[in-house]
Structures are given as structure tokens and as C-alpha cells.
Amino acid sequence: MEKYSLYSVAELHDLLVKKEVTPLELAQEAIRLLKEDKNNVLEASMEDEALEVASSLGEPQVDAPFWGIPVLVKDNYSTKNVESTASSDILNGYRPVFDAEVIARLKKQGAVLIGKTTLDELAMGGSGTTGHKGITYNPWDQKHERIMGGSSCGSAAAVAAGIVPFALGSDTGDSVRKPASFGGLVGFKPTWGRISRFGLFPFAPSLDHVGYFTRSVLDAALALEVLAGRDEKDATSSSRKVEKYSSSFSGVKGKKLAVIDNIVSSIKDKQNLNDFNSLLDKLVAEGAHINHVKMDAKLLNAIYPTYIVISCAEATSNNANLDGVKFGPRFGGNTYEEVMTNARTKGFSELIKRRFVIGSFALMKENQEVLFLRAQKARKLIVDAVNSILVDNDSIILPAAPSIAPLFHEDADKLSDTYLVADNHLALGNFAGLPSITIPLSIEKGMPLGINIMGRPFEEGTVLSIALEAERLTGLKGLYSGRDK
């Protein structure tokens, strides 16, 4: 019987400091749950290292909230001497010689890394079905008919199933915040530059963010204090001061929250809309002001195509180093061209190849103007529109996803409003690099729904404060899927 797995990081920290539990006991329990997992969350185990670290941590560190806490990390972060594949065959067997900065910071705190989690191959995708280890299931649906969502599927499923209280993901379009909605989790992506991306495998660096899952807003704030801050190894990381987010929550009284009405109206799910509106009423009762605004429909419909062109173009260029020579296995061939062609033909799945074809096409000299540069211009217009909403409002609050996690065979009509807008609006936070958090809203048919709160750059404190209040109002702190029998 598990004793500790449903505690939050903050609660476990208290128990550890009081010596009511040891890091080793926590690691052993998490490792056992990981072995019993039926949702396909694990890419690579770090069991031996975890047990060694957990046994040698010494005295509890009162000021280190992650000391002795078992954690999981998405397999697109470099972990020294531990296989790191980003769920792609082209990286099978690749063992980096260094730790990503976020991994180093977690280790320095005394966190116990117990393994690497599955993802959509190279973090491209949103279903949790395209990694080389197959489908990752949503633990909320014991029949295994609904997606976990991705790309950070393994990390999301592991936190939702109560294996660990914290797991690292990454977010280029919504890959933390969408699965968080489908898994009843807190999923947070702070401002672009707030957390170092050194050692995060690049997908589309102008959009890539470190993000993570927890089961409470307080834990999300604690994690930010540990992970944020300047890193000389990542020139895009900010040297702004890291705040004490976990002790400076400021409530919602007097805060202005914008609702983008024509994003909300693209959602058809009645319960999602009702629950969202009743949460808004409760926030108003606590002293928040809700301002209903609109964005140009053309800009909203441009989110998805703009995202696809920019992310595929950047992905094509940034993944050119996966040539079958520098990392991972050889796939045969006598010349460099043959080796590369074989590696990229056999090492990537269809989805990745399709995206590289789109990216190469957009970057071709004759297409650059009409595709790549046009997408950059569209991005600028979209970002300007979002930022103009945030001039008079402290945050933007929206349903995080159109519905509960879809069934595997449910194929969205990609030209419908519901898909173009309701399924893709979280990318606004990536285009503009804004802090953006998803938290649970309610439960529908036994599956969670989520809301998303976005704020101005580097105003993580505001976003977390609104999220904490919303978490109190929904009462859905520490949600947990129940475990597969």
C-alpha cells in the first residue's frame, strides 16, 4: 500500500524535515509505483542512481524544498550518463556527457531523479502516441481509450497517477499545459528566458520553454524558485531577480482578468463553458474584475498555420545535427550522405518526416517570403494583439482545452473553429513568451477539465496568485486519477 505518493512536494518536505520519512523510503515507493505503471510513462529508469542518491543525502535541508523528493523528467533533457532519446529511434543509446541546467539544479537541491519519461517523438505532437515506445495512456481512463495528450505525456501521466509529485516537461505549443488539462494537473510554463534551456533538446527555440507538472499551485511556485534564474550557458536566460513566489501570493482582489470571448465561443462543450463561467463568478465574488474582450478572428484562425510554419522551420534547422553520425546508433552506409540518409529514413517516424518536409519547404529560397517571413509577420500581429489585452488587464483566463481528453480514434476536423482556435490558443503563450499555467477546473464524465491563466512577461507572481485563488475556489487541489487495477 502506498503511503506517500499522493502528498505534494510541500507536504513531503515537511515530513522529510521532521524525519517522519526518509528520502530512501520515498524513492523506494516511487520506484515500485513506476514498475507497476500500466500507462507507459517510462523511457529510461534511473533506479540504481536514485537509490544511491537517496541513501546518501545526509541531514534534511530545510531551505531546499526538493531535497529528498522523487521526481521524473521528460526524456528530451540531457541527463549525464543516462540514455536520452527524446523517444526517437535516431537517438537510441545516446548517453549525454552533461546534465541540462534544470537537471543540475534539481540534483543540487537534493531531488532524487528516478527516471526519464515518454514523449511524442522529439516533442513534436500533442497526442502522446508517436514516441518510439508507443502510446502513453491517460490514467484517468482505466479503459485506456482516451489520450493523455502530449508531447509531455509520460510526465503528465506519472504525476496524474500519483507516482511522483513533480515531473519536468517542455512546452513549445502547449505540451505541458494541454496534457495538464487532460490529467487534472497543474502545468506551468513560465516566461521565455525565465528558466535556462541549456540541455533541453531544441525543437523550435523561439517557442521552446521549460515547463513542469505538479498537483498543487504551491508546488509550482516552489519549483520556480529552484529552477528559475540566469545561467551563463544559455544566453537567452534572464538575469532578472528570482522572486519568493511561494511566500508572496497576492490573491485576486482588484486584479483584472480578461476573457477572450471569441476563443471561449469556439468551445462547444456545455459543461466546460458552464463550469468556466461559474468559476468566473466566484472570482468576481472574491474581488476580481472580469473584462470581456475579443481578438480579430483572422488572427485567431492564423494561430495554427503560423505555429506549424514557424515550429517546423525551426525544427528542421535545429534537428539537422541528427545525421546518424554525432549521436545515437549508425544505420549503415558508406558515405556521409548514405549514412545520413539511412539514419534519417529509419530513425524518424512519419510525423517527424512530414514536419521536416513542411519546414524545408517553408525555408526554401523561393518560398521564404510567402511562408516563413509571412508567418513571422502573422506572429508579430498576434503577439501585439495579446500584449495589447495585457496593457489594461493583469491576466487572460480561458478554458485550457475544448473538452476532456479525446478518445484515440476521435479525429478533429482541422479546419473547424473548434480545432483552429479552441485546440490551439495555448500557443499564444509561446508566441509571446508569456507565463502560462493550467490548473484543474472540474470533472466531466469522470475526466478532468482545466483552465489556463496567462500573464505579462516575468509576472509569474500574478499568474500564480490568481491560480492559487482559483485552486481554492474549485477545491481541486491534489487531484489524482486513481490507479490502474
SS3 18: coil
> Minimum CB separation from ligand GLN for residue 361, in Å?
17
Q: Which is nearer to ligand GLN, 122 or 264 (CB)?
A: 122
Q: Which is nearer to ligand GLN, 175 or 395 (CB)?
A: 175
199 vs 257: CA distance, rounded Å: 35
- Catalytically annotated residues: 74, 151, 175
Q: Does 173 bind ligand GLN (CB under 6 A)?
A: yes
**Nearest Cα to Cα of residue 187 among 471, 389, 390, 474:** 471
- Selected range binding ligand GLN among 91-99, 169-177, 326-334, 413-421, rule: CB under 6 A: 169-177
Q: Which three cell numbers stand for residue 452?
A: 489556463
Please select the residue that binds ligand GLN; options are 99, 121, 174, 469, rule is CB under 6 A. Answer: 174
Q: Does 126 bind ligand GLN (CB under 6 A)?
A: yes
Q: Which three cell numbers stand for residue 247?
A: 511566500
Please select the residue that binds ligand GLN; options are 112, 123, 159, 404, rule is CB under 6 A. Answer: 123
Length of the chain: 485
Angle, in degrees to the nearest 10, between helices 47-55 and 23-36: 160
Q: Which three cell numbers stand for residue 249?
A: 501570493
> Minimum CB separation from ligand GLN for residue 430, in Å?
7
Q: Which three cell numbers stand for residue 215?
A: 498537483
Q: Total number of residues binding ligand GLN (CB under 6 A)?
A: 12
Q: Look-up: residue for cell 506572429?
A: 379
Q: Which is nearer to ligand GLN, 15 or 102 (CB)?
A: 102
Q: Does 175 bind ligand GLN (CB under 6 A)?
A: yes
- Selected range binding ligand GLN among 106-114, 173-181, 225-233, 446-454, rule: CB under 6 A: 173-181
> Minimum CB separation from ligand GLN for residue 27, in Å?
29
Sheet of 166-171: strand order equals 42-45, 112-117, 70-74, 166-171, 209-214, 186-189, 436-444, 447-455, 395-399, 256-260, 289-293
Q: Which is nearer to ligand GLN, 70 or 149 (CB)?
A: 149
- Selected range binding ligand GLN among 123-131, 180-188, 232-240, 401-409, rule: CB under 6 A: 123-131
Buried/exposed code over 37-65 (b: 16+ C-beta within 10 A; e: otherwise): bebbbbbbbbbebbbebbeebeebbeebb
Q: Does 172 bind ligand GLN (CB under 6 A)?
A: yes
Which residues lie below 8 Å from residue 54, measured CB to CB, with a gap of 6+? Answer: 22, 23, 24, 26, 27, 28, 68, 70, 112
- Selected range binding ligand GLN among 45-53, 171-179, 277-285, 390-398, rule: CB under 6 A: 171-179
Q: What ranges make up the beta strands (E) of 265-322?
A: 289-293
- Selected range binding ligand GLN among 26-34, 52-60, 121-129, 431-439, rule: CB under 6 A: 121-129
SS3 130: coil
Please select the residue that binds ligand GLN; options are 125, 165, 184, 429, rule is CB under 6 A. Answer: 125
- Selected range binding ligand GLN among 49-57, 166-174, 409-417, 442-450, rule: CB under 6 A: 166-174
Q: Which is nearer to ligand GLN, 284 or 407 (CB)?
A: 407
Query: Which residues share a beta bridge with 444?
Result: 447
What is the enclosing helix (H) or strand (E) of 55?
Answer: helix 47-55
Do 401 and 450 form a contact (C-beta atoms < 8 A)?
Answer: yes
Please select the residue that binds ligand GLN; options are 124, 167, 288, 428, rule is CB under 6 A. Answer: 124
DSSP 8-class letter at 150: S
Q: Does 88 bind ligand GLN (CB under 6 A)?
A: no
Q: Which three cell numbers stand for residue 364?
A: 526554401
Q: Which is nearer to ligand GLN, 361 or 480 (CB)?
A: 361
What is the enclosing helix (H) or strand (E) of 155?
Answer: helix 153-160
Q: Which three cell numbers stand for residue 204?
A: 523550435
Q: Which is nearer to ligand GLN, 112 or 310 (CB)?
A: 310
Q: Does 121 bind ligand GLN (CB under 6 A)?
A: no
Please select the residue that binds ligand GLN; options are 7, 182, 201, 203, rule is CB under 6 A. Answer: 203
List the x/- string, 273-312, binding to ligand GLN by CB under 6 A. Answer: --------------------------------------x-
Q: Which is nearer to ligand GLN, 100 or 123 (CB)?
A: 123
Binding site for ligand GLN (CB under 6 A): 123-126, 151, 171-175, 203, 311
